[in-house]
A and B are shown apart, each in its own frame.
Chain A
């Protein structure tokens, strides 16, 4: 999309798309778009294998039942019958301006839900970002989205879901993405050990992982990072998987530590800093309107984002070299041979190395199970306490007893059912 003139006349014309809210003039031109397509879109098209039976070798979708003809109205949404379709429509309307493009995004999301049965809105973010850099050259004519773009977005979403060990996105793209909360709490444990003051400040102010970590874990930083850092972020995530995402999160928090410390107990400000809200990053409203007046500040913001991305990537590269690297990482590296890369070889600053290495040092499965159990036990205790309170209340009010059904599920039973029958003692 980014490389087509028509895109810049329509979708990219003011008012800007939410996808561009953090770009402020950089990486926002047809030239930058073409470069992004060449650097990332083409690379990803090579790196992610075509799904057998669904797409031909050149990336065209052959299964037209799954990918509507371009120009079709797309799925008709009956909001009262299909909740997923209702949300897809809402999400697409908040992503692209043209209905044609909204419909194509919906077709990718529909395919995913048909295959995996669940959905998280982070997926719509990721799909829209991939569509931006997929090859959509139409010589300036509509449609702006091509089947190649749909194929790439669908292929990557499928690959991220299917590789449960490397990406585990099938767990993250669920309405109830338990993995994002658990992973976030594991990261907070590492932070507590290596950045105790920062950890204490976040905990004191109630900045819990389930408030902010989904944007990284489920949304893969779309709407968090500016495009100039987002595409390298996605590229490294595709290469290294979850270890990169974990290291990036810790690197970002560490790089923001001074800013967060200055925010004291201003909870709102702390959250805005972690979300990389532009005004909190030092850019005034006037500068947001006229980015040319704030080139230095914008460069500082961009550098901070890229520093977190590159530090995490360098740490992953170092770990990968020690272990011999994976075949998939090697395939990605081969696909990028000869292409310009972001500064993946930039070494993290010395103070970051230790905390990033901590990700490799722990047994993630053991630690995440421990965090999960801790939270589940706490949840069960609260449920028991609430049930006891309700019982007392019911005994005091006989009228309430009539409303209780003998076969109604207790909170404890409901939790046990949700957890697949597991009951903690």
Chain B
């Protein structure tokens, strides 16, 4: 087993149940989509090696349960996060309105050293659904992101692989800027996925 120093970027994905957190993670890491994912209970994570400015880093992406709450005892695995991805469903106003509480809860639980400058990123998912179902406009979402310190915003579809790759590349870049190198022992057989396919849709970075 080889041992080497490598940046490990810990990323937490938060958002209401059913907004597509598991699907986004699987689309990014495994480049596949299924509408048969069961609800996430507890937490899960996948790892993926990515290049950021010619530097190879390992992203450890944590998929969380959107319905569970652990306010009283805290969520220990939030700690040490280098970036937090907030996900909502553009077809559900409620899922957008809870972004505030997800952000606040993360800051309380993760206790980052500099909460005012901790890197967040917002994904408005399920843009593949028909236009008539949309309940949150991009303008409204971008306004919220601006009010929280210019959080980058992407509109995505995990199903159609729209903007997933650019969004997570942005996550990696922000996380790398945040992280401090940690000593991690990686086994030789760690899964290294092929280059993900490029998405064609536009990203909104406000």
Residues on the B chain within 8 Å of A267, using CB: 45, 60
Chain A residue with Cβ nearest B187 = A266
User: Is B134 in contact with chain A by the CB < 8 A criterion?
Assistant: no
Is there a chain A Cβ closer than 8 Å to B132's Cβ? no
Number of interface residues of B (CB under 8 A): 42
With known contacts A79-B94, A210-B76, A393-B116, A215–B41 Cβ distance under 8 A:
yes
A269 to B46, CA, bound (A): 9
Cβ of B50 under 8 Å from chain A: no
Residue pair B46, A268 in contact (C-beta under 8 Å): yes
| Dominant SS among interface residues on chain B | loop
Could you tell me the distance between the alpha carbons of A212 and B44 in the complex, rounded to whole angstroms?
A: 8
Listed stretches A2-10, A83-91, A351-359; interface member:
A83-91
Please tell me if the beta carbons of B68 and A213 are within 8 angstroms of each other in the complex: no
A18 to B40, CA, bound (A): 12
> Given that A90-B17, A265-B185, A382-B74 are known contacts, is A121 also in contact with B65, CB under 8 Å in the complex?
yes
Q: Which one of B65, B108, B116 lies within 8 Å of A386 (CB-CB)? A: B108
- Please, which residues of chain B bring their CB within 8 A of the CB of A263? 187
Q: A15-B36, A86-B94, A211-B42 are in contact. Are A177 and B68 (CB under 8 A)?
A: yes
CB neighbours (8 Å) of A175 from chain B are 67-69
Q: Is the CB of A218 within 8 A of B74?
A: no
What residues on B are CB-neighbors of A383 within 8 Å?
A: 108
| A296 smallest CB distance to B (angstroms) | 23
Q: Does A181 contact B (CB under 8 A)?
A: yes
Contacts of A90 in B (CB 8 A): 17-18, 39
- Distance in angstroms from A285 CB to nearest chain B CB is 11
CB atoms of A208 and B36 under 8 A apart: no
Closest to A269 in B: B187
Q: Max chain B CB contacts within 10 Å: which of A16, A90, A372?
A: A90
Q: Which of A141-149, A163-171, A297-305, A411-419 contacts B (4 or more CB under 8 A)?
A: A411-419
Does A334 have its Cβ within 8 Å of any Cβ on chain B? no
Whether a CB of chain A sits under 8 angstroms from the CB of B101 is no
B68 nearest CB neighbor, chain A only: A175
Interface segment among A24-32, A54-62, A186-194, A373-381: the answer is: A373-381
Residues in chain B near residue A218, CB distance under 8 A: 41
Near B by CB (< 8 A), chain A positions 81-139 give: 83, 86-87, 90-91, 94-95, 119-122, 124-125
| Contact yes or no, B77 A211, CB < 8 A | yes
Instruction: Check A271 for interface membership: any CB of B closer than 8 A.
Output: yes
Q: Mark A57-86, 1 if CB is under 8 A from B, else 0.
A: 000000000000000000000011001001
Contacts of A418 in B (CB 8 A): 71-72
A121 and B77 contacting across the interface, CB-CB below 8 Å? no
Residues in chain A near residue B92, CB distance under 8 A: 79-80, 86
Known contacts A176-B68, A264-B1, A264-B185; A375 and B74 CB within 8 A of each other: yes
Measured between C-beta atoms, what is the minimum distance from A416 to chain B in Å? 10
State whether A121 touches B41 (Cβ < 8 A): yes
A178 at the interface (CB under 8 A from B): yes
In the complex, are the beta carbons of B42 and A386 less than 8 A apart?
no
Q: Which residue of B lies closest to A95 (CB)?
A: B38
Instruction: Return chain A residues, CB-CB under 8 Å to B71.
Output: 176, 414-415, 418
Residue A51 interfacial (CB < 8 Å): no
A interface list, Cβ under 8 A from B: 15-18, 21, 79-80, 83, 86-87, 90-91, 94-95, 119-122, 124-125, 175-178, 181-182, 206, 208, 210-215, 218-219, 223, 263-269, 271, 275, 372, 375-376, 378-379, 382-383, 385-386, 389-390, 393, 411, 414-415, 418-419
Listed by A's residue number, 24 A-B pairs whose Cβ atoms lie within 8 Å are A15-B34, A15-B36, A90-B39, A94-B35, A94-B38, A95-B38, A120-B41, A121-B67, A121-B68, A125-B38, A175-B68, A175-B69, A176-B71, A177-B68, A181-B70, A208-B76, A210-B43, A210-B70, A215-B41, A263-B187, A271-B44, A378-B74, A386-B108, A418-B72
A sample of 7 more A-B contacts (CB under 8 A), given A80-B94, A181-B70, A264-B187, is A80-B93, A86-B18, A90-B39, A176-B72, A178-B72, A223-B38, A265-B186
